Every structure is written in structure tokens, then in C-alpha cells.
Amino acid sequence: MKELRKEFEALPPDATDEQVRLTAENLARRQFMPTLILSVPNFTMMKRADMLAEFDRVATLDEESDELTAVVGLLHADEVKKKHLELLLYNYHLLSGLRVSDGDAWAFINELYEDD
């Protein structure tokens, strides 16, 4: 988890509030839903500080918490936490690319939500 925490701490600076808002609106029109294990309300509006707070929240979840025990298919609470945080980080990197109009990131979203 220490290495994963370092990756969260190395996240790029936040996009502008306007870029965050416009990207969230654009993704809402596509009914974008990132693949995550635990619930993360308002993911598309998250910023770097929110990501670090989510890391801390998940890292400190009790193994017997309803949130962790509700996950089916993963054997141990630490596995659930790690997998969730890895998926969160992956999706946030994608979201960060969308916010700065990265063509590859938008091509990926368009392929998933429009081209089918």
C-alpha cells in the first residue's frame, strides 16, 4: 500500500474548475460510470485532494466494515482495498486526460460510449 500511496501523491496538478465542470457534464451525457469496487460519489468532480482523502478513507476501513464485506469474489479485505484503489487511480488518470483534452483519452471514451 505504501507504493500505491506514492502513486496517489504523484498525481498531476488539478485541472481548472471550468475544465472539471465541463468534463463532468460531457461524461454525464454519455452516462459514464467508471469501473470501481467501492462507491465513490461524484467521481467525475474529484480533484487531487479528494483522491488522497479517498485513499486514506479506504486504507483505514475496518476489515469488518459493511462496505468491504459486501464485496463478493475477493477473499480478503486488503485485496478489496488494493484493487479498489488501483481501479480508482487508473480511472482518475483517464479522467485527468479528459480534462486536458487528451485525444487518446477521448478516443477511448468515444469507443466505449459512442461507437457501439
Complete DSSP assignment for 6-62: HHHHTPPPPPPHHHHHHHHHHHHHTT-----SS--TTGGG--HHHHHHHHHHHHT--
Segment 55-97, tens digit of pLDDT: 999 999 998 888 888 887 667 889 999 999 999 999 999 999 9
pLDDT in tens, 18-50: 999 999 999 999 999 999 999 999 999 999 999
**Single pTM value for the model:** 0.91
pLDDT at residue 116, as a whole number = 55
Domains of the chain, residue spans = 2-9+17-33+43-113
